């Protein structure tokens, strides 16, 4: 026991913390506190102990923050999964409302105000949103595949054919019904940005004046029934 005490005093004078000595010599902290309370240590040793304590505290804080971040991620995922289950299978009525609302936000509407050009044109870049709009057009509006026209807007430097193939597969519309791809030439530095949309923006068009007014009417119905 005397040898352990001497070793503990030696390590303390070198600037070791109680935790370090405890782990090295397997001596209880209560015993160390009793043995070392009168031990005089140098300024250098004090600095070493303080730095060690600070480093340990920071490490503990980082670890705690990581745990909290992971907990928040898992909690958010659990909430999202639970919430997603409340949607269930979409009915035709659901598609009617969803499609009308999406067209209200992302569709061409100026023709309703007297413009000569009256064309159904829905624009977006989110494949999932485009998928649900294709269901709206096909199942609610009863648009046949051969009546769709597609135009893509791509930033300069992106592969046009790759984008055409992607959207053709996604929408189940033959590539022969795709119009010439429109290339966007940015005046900014031609440095490829990670934010550029790999497959660009898609315009889903149906050249049918009656369908255009029908969809605008659905949008009007949403506006009337907002309750505002």
Whether the pLDDT of residue 172 is over 90: the answer is: yes
Q: How confident is the model at residue 137 (pLDDT cuts 50, 70, 90)?
A: very high
> Can you give the C-alpha Rg of the chain in angstroms?
34
Rounded CA-CA distance 122/119 in Å is 10
Q: Is the pTM of this model over 0.85?
A: no
Nearest to 219 by CA among 100, 136, 62, 74: 100
Q: How confident is the model at residue 189 (pLDDT cuts 50, 70, 90)?
A: very low
Whether the pLDDT of residue 98 is over 80: the answer is: yes
Among 17-26, 178-187, 201-210, the minimum mean pLDDT is found in 17-26
Rounded CA-CA distance 177/175 in Å is 5
pLDDT in the model for residue 157: 72
Whether the pLDDT of residue 188 is over 60: the answer is: no
pLDDT in the model for residue 83: 92
pLDDT tens per residue, range 139-170: 999 999 999 999 998 887 778 889 999 999 99
Look over the chain and give the mean of its residue pLDDT values, rounded to a whole number.
Answer: 84
């Amino acid at each position: 026991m005397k040898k352990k005490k001497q070793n503990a005093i030696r390590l303390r004078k070198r600037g070791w913390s109680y935790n370090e000595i405890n782990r090295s010599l397997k001596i209880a902290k209560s015993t160390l506190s009793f043995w070392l309370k009168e031990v005089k240590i140098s300024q250098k040793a004090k600095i070493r102990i303080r730095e060690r304590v600070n480093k340990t505290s920071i490490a503990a804080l980082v670890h705690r923050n990581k745990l909290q971040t992971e907990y928040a991620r898992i909690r958010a995922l659990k909430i999202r999964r639970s919430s997603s289950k409340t949607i269930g299978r979409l009915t035709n009525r659901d598609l009617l409302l969803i499609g009308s609302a999406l067209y209200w936000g992302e569709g061409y509407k100026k023709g309703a105000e007297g413009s000569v050009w009256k064309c159904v044109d829905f624009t977006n870049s989110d494949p999932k949103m485009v998928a649900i709009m294709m269901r709206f057009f096909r199942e609610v509006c009863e648009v046949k595949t051969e009546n769709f026209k597609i135009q893509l807007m791509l930033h300069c430097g992106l592969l046009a054919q790759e984008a055409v193939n992607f959207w053709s597969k996604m929408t189940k519309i033959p590539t022969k019904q795709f119009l010439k791809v429109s290339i966007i030439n940015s005046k900014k530095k031609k440095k490829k940005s990670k934010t550029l949309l790999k497959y660009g923006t898609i315009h889903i068009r149906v050249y049918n004046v009656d369908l255009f007014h029908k969809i605008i009417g659905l949008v009007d119905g949403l506006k009337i029934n907002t309750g505002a």
